Structure 1
Amino acid sequence: MTSNQVSACCFTGFRHEGKPVGEVKAIGEIRTYFSYPANNNAPERAVIILSDVFGIFTNSQLLADDFAANGYLAIVPDLFAGDAMDLGDFEAGKIDIPEWISRHGTDATDPIIDAVIRHFRDKLGIKKIAGAGYCFGGKYVTRFLVDGKLDTGYSAHPSFVADGELAAIKKPFSLSAAENDQIFTRDSRYKFEEILGHTGQQYQINLFSGVEHGFSIRADLSRPENKFAKEQAFVQALGWFAHTLI
């Protein structure tokens, strides 16, 4: 594995302040949060946010709104078919992590992402699609960086990415990493860099000091180092998409 399996740090975090401005609609049977750029109901570029284990909740919705404010149609599909986690469940002892993970492998998750991409291409006429993956979703950005799927990808502190998945990418890839991360460790970063160097694709790896796994989407933003890193990771994704979606 280029990054480790999900563990307790993937099931904890902080809810961010703000009121989402988008709406929840359906793509087939897939519950999906949509956020459109202002005064543009038919954008040609889109960002699919492949979420952490908390799925469609305030933090991921606000992130989609931020992408929309920068000109993209941004969506958060429910990767878990109604089985996403709630903040506080882990501390309350309500989660059996291995059992939950067993319900959400590639056989269950890949078809959801495939259906969303087909909807964008065939129904909405989206010409360029970026994937932004966080923790759990980082694996699936990697899996879908192939011809006819995602056109470019960004991941923050990805979980359980296999070496072969990363080696198979055919599109540009950008990564944000935390200094203190038991899932995406220092060795993982070095392995990522080694494999990416053999893919022939453009890549970028940014490391943020003083922060932990999950910093880009569910960190405690009252800590200045978390707030800075979260905001700069978003700027990294924006810059990467502007550079590679041409």
Structure 2
Amino acid sequence: MASNAPSACCASGFKHEGTPVGKLETIDGVNTYIGTPSANKKADKAVLFLSDIFGLFNNNKLLVDEYANNGYLTVLPDLFREGQISTDDMDNGKINIPEWIKGYQPDNVDPIVAKTIKYMRETLGVKKIAAVGYCFGARYVSRFLKDGQIDVGYHAHPSGTTHEDLAAIQGPLSICAAEIDPVFTTQLRHESEVTLAKTGQAWQINLLSGVVHGFAVRGDPKDPHQKWAKEQAFCQAIAWFDRYL
């Protein structure tokens, strides 16, 4: 594995305050949250947002809105068909991640990603797609970063990604990592560097100190360092997309 399977740290973190301003639609039977830029200066480019295990919850929707604020039409499909981990379960610690994850393997998730890409290209008229993957979603960025599906990729504290996934990418990939992370460990990060170096693609791994797995989407906004690190992770994605998309 290039990053370990989701574990308890994937179901921890803080809820962020704010009111999402995007719209919820049903795309081929899949609930999908869409953030539309007020001034769409990148009309032929868009971001596919592949979420952590909480799916269409507030933190992710607010991040979608931020990508839209930076000029990118952004699409967040429900990868779990309403079977996501609930924030109540997170608060109560009533989560069996190894059991839950059995229902959300590539056979279940790949078709949702594929139909969302098709919708973006054929219905929305998007010519180039960047994809962001937080935790769980990162693996599916790698899996679709080839064959003209996704053009540019970004991972934040990935989970579940295999070396085969990384070795097969056919486009630029940027990764943002946490110093304290039992899922994307120091050893696995270094192994990923070796794998990526053999792909012939542009790649980048940034490491942020003093933060834990999940910080880029569920960090504590009241902690100045965590807030700063979350902002840096977002800026890394935007800079990567602006460069390669």
- TM category, shorter: over 0.9
1:177-214 per-residue CA deviation (whole Å, 9 max, x = no partner) reads: 00000000001110111100000000011000000000
* Kept after mapping to 2: 8 A contact 1:12/1:88: no
Q: Distance in 2 between matches of 1:102 and 1:120?
A: 28
Give the structure 2 partner of residue 135 of structure 1.
Answer: 135
Task: Give the alignment's TM-score, normalised by structure 2.
Answer: 0.97
Calculate percent identity across the aligned residue pairs: 51
Deviation at 1:95, TM superposition (A): 2.4
What is the CA-CA distance between 1:22 and the residue it aligns to?
0.4
C-alpha distance in 2 between matches for 1:106 and 1:140? 8
Write the mapping of 1:153-164 to structure 2, written as runs, cut at 5 A.
153-164=153-164
Give the CA deviation at 1:176. Answer: 0.1
- State the 1:41 CA deviation: 10
| 2:181 paired residue number | 181
Contact 2:41 2:71 in 1 (8 A): no
Partner of 1:48: 48
Gap runs ≥5 in structure 1: none
Offset at residue 91 of structure 1 (A)? 4.5
Q: Give the residue type in structure 1 aligned to 2:199.
A: T
SS of the residue corresponding to residue 149 of structure 2 reads coil
1:140-167 per-position Cα deviation (integer Å, ceiling 9, x unaligned): 1111110221000000000011111110
Runs (4+) off by over 6 Å: none
How far residue 11 of structure 1 moved from its aligned partner, in angstroms, is: 1.0
Q: What is the rounded CA distance, in whole Å, between the counterparts of 1:220 and 1:88 in structure 2?
A: 17
Is 1:228 aligned to residue 220 of structure 2? no
The amino acid across from 2:159 in the alignment is S
Which letter maps to 1:76? L
What residue in structure 2 maps to residue 109 of structure 1? 109
Counterparts of 1:197 and 1:39, CA distance in 2: 37
The 3-state SS of whatever aligns with 2:108 is helix
**What are the Cα deviations for residues 89-136 of structure 1, in whole angstroms up to 9, with x where unaligned?**
044253222221011000000000000001111111101100000000
1:147 aligns to 2:147 (yes or no): yes
Give the conservation status (yes or no) of the 8 Å contact 2:42–2:72.
no
Q: CA separation in 2, counterparts of 1:184 and 1:133?
A: 14
Aligned length: 245
Unaligned runs of at least 5 residues, structure 2? none
C-alpha deviation, 1:220, in angstroms: 1.0
Matches within 5 A, 1:53-132: 53-132=53-132
CA deviations over 1:40-71 (Å, ceiling 9, x no partner): 49921110110000001111111010100111
CA distance in 1, matches of 2:18, 2:73: 19
What amino acid is the match of 1:162?
Answer: T
What is the rounded CA distance, in whole Å, between the counterparts of 2:168 and 2:42 in structure 1?
32
Q: Distance in 1 between matches of 2:179 and 2:42?
A: 39
**Contact 1:14–1:87 (CA under 8 A) maintained in structure 2:** no
Q: Which amino acid counterpart does residue 157 of structure 2 have in structure 1?
A: H
Match of 1:3 in 2: 3
* Secondary structure class of the residue paired with 2:222: coil
Aligned-partner residue type, residue 184 of structure 2: F
TM-score by length of 1: 0.97
In the alignment, the residues of structure 2 paired with residue 219 and residue 88 of structure 1 have an alpha-carbon distance, to the nearest angstrom, of: 17
Report the equivalent of 1:192: 192
Contact preservation (8 Å) 1:55, 1:80: yes
3-state SS of 2:88 partner? coil
